[in-house]
Amino acid sequence: MNIALEGALKLKEISYVHAEGYAGGELKHGPIAMIDDQMVVVVLAPQDRWHDKTISNLEEVKARGAKILGIGTRGDQMLSSLCHHFIGLPPGIEEDLMPFLLVTAVQLFSYELAVLKGTDIDQPRNLAKSVTVE
């Protein structure tokens, strides 16, 4: 879930896109009520121990008409068939190392979206680059 939160934070900071990060298990506890055909959902679904549950949640998201960007293991036909767009990560990565690839993918996605929108990535508005102590 921390990676989803990081991705949402970066989308807000440099792309000025409202985003929220949720663990897959939280989907049915409120967020699913907001999903419709106007929403874009980014799903992080590598082939790990939660893959089947994530796919089950994604099927519910798709049934509600959301546009889906999937980030998962390259060659994952089940995941890619549910997504409108798919970013494939290298197969064979140990589960403990997968967060490093996922966080890089969500940060690069945020960066590329900011570039497409024409925002100033180096000087985000209303964002302090340092913490000051009073």
Please tell me whether residue 132 adopts helix, strand or coil conformation: coil
Which residues lie below 8 Å from residue 6, measured CB to CB, with a gap of 6+? 21, 103, 106, 107
Which amino acid, one-letter code, is at 89? L
* Polymer length of the chain: 134
Residue 105 contacts residue 90 (beta carbons within 8 Å): no
Report residue 63 as tokens: 């049934």
> Would you please indicate which residues are annotated as catalytic (active-site) residues?
129
